[in-house]
Amino acid sequence: MPMAGIASPQPVLEASALQRTVLDNGLVFHHAEAGAGTPLVFLHGVLGDWRTWAPQWAAFVPHFRCISYSRRYSVPNGNRVASPDHSALAEADDLEALLAHWHAAPAVLVGASYGAYTALALAARRPEQMRALVLVEPPLMRLADTSAEGRAIRSEFDRHIRLPARRAFEAGDDARAVWLLTEGILGGTDLGQQSGAAMGRRLENAESLRRVTLSSDEFPALDMDRLAALDMPVLLLSGERTPPIHDVVFRALAQALPRAESLKVPGAGHGVARDQPAAFNALVLEFLKRHGLWS
């Protein structure tokens, strides 16, 4: 018990001891875990890994049993299994198996970018596995095709970012591919603010980017009717400074999920939780508290 007048030390994500999980299919996953109560699982995007959620860890651990894991091809997992049609559908299979292994279902899922896509893919199939969803700009690119504006923006993104990155990966130029995708996902303004350490971490996770970029179906369709009918709390978040491709997809998703709450976060780009951590933490904790998930 801490002495009176002395604050307890704040939990630090990167100081956590990683736990290793091996699924029946041989895939290896690493995660950090802390706290007690309702399980809350953080899902990072293709540019990150389990460390992505460091700005959230101290705020959420006092209220939840928090788990931050590296998805299939992110460090330090080391998975190299072939997956030519790799997508959020495969990642959802991983997540479902992991939740069972961790005895963590139903869980609150907090996902960013492709991690949010993964959470939605599982929600479309197994909604009973979750208590609530918090989703930051899941890239359901097919939703861009529902409007003329979206089709034009997606075509521009494909021409200048996705297809050149694909060619760079095919040529073995991982550094160029990662740079292109970072530029396209975060936007030019945010790219100029990236530290060398941040870019180094993305290069560490080049395998995750490669597997999705070279997939035959990197942005699979989800059952939007089932997602629209979800009766759990759903919060959709987007940054006010996010690139056009994410903005147009986010607006289409908010329209497709009319029962969800949706918010634009000032001062944030695509990486809302990183760009504006205090605002993100406050918004999400208030949302989860309002829905009775902690007291």
Written as six digits, the tokens of 4 are 């009176």
Classified as helix, coil or strand, 35 is: coil
How far apart CA 207 and CA 74 sit, in angstroms, is 7
Prediction pTM value = 0.95
Classified as helix, coil or strand, 48 is: coil
pLDDT at 79: 98
Tens place of pLDDT for every residue, the chain, 295 residues? Answer: 444 555 668 999 999 999 999 999 999 999 999 999 999 999 999 999 999 999 999 999 999 999 999 999 999 999 999 999 999 999 999 999 999 999 999 999 999 999 999 999 999 999 999 999 999 999 999 999 999 999 999 999 999 999 999 999 999 999 999 999 999 999 855 555 555 677 888 999 999 999 999 999 999 999 999 999 999 999 999 999 999 999 999 999 999 999 999 999 999 999 999 999 999 999 999 999 999 999 8
Determine what percent of the chain falls in helix, strand and coil, rounding each to the nearest 5.
50, 15, 35
Q: For the residues of 218-274, what is the DSSP string, one character each? A: SS----HHHHHT--S-EEEEEETT--HHHHHHHHHHHHH-TTSEEEEETT--S-HHH
Nearest to 209 by CA among 72, 11, 15: 72
pLDDT at 199: 80
| Beta-strand relationship, 65-69 and 39-43 | parallel
Q: Where are the domains of the chain?
A: 13-147+218-290
pLDDT at 9: 81
| Beta-strand relationship, 107-112 and 234-239 | unpaired
- Residue 188's CB is within 10 A of a number of other CB atoms, namely 9
How far apart CA 28 and CA 15 sit, in angstroms, is 21
Class for the domain spanning 13-147+218-290: alpha beta
Written as six digits, the tokens of 54 are 């460091």
pLDDT at 1: 42
Nearest to 102 by CA among 129, 74, 83: 129
How far apart CA 72 and CA 199 sit, in angstroms, is 20
Whole-angstrom Cα Rg for the chain = 18
- Residue 226's CB is within 10 A of a number of other CB atoms, namely 12
Strand order in the sheet with 130-136: 19-22, 28-34, 65-69, 39-43, 107-112, 130-136, 234-239, 261-265
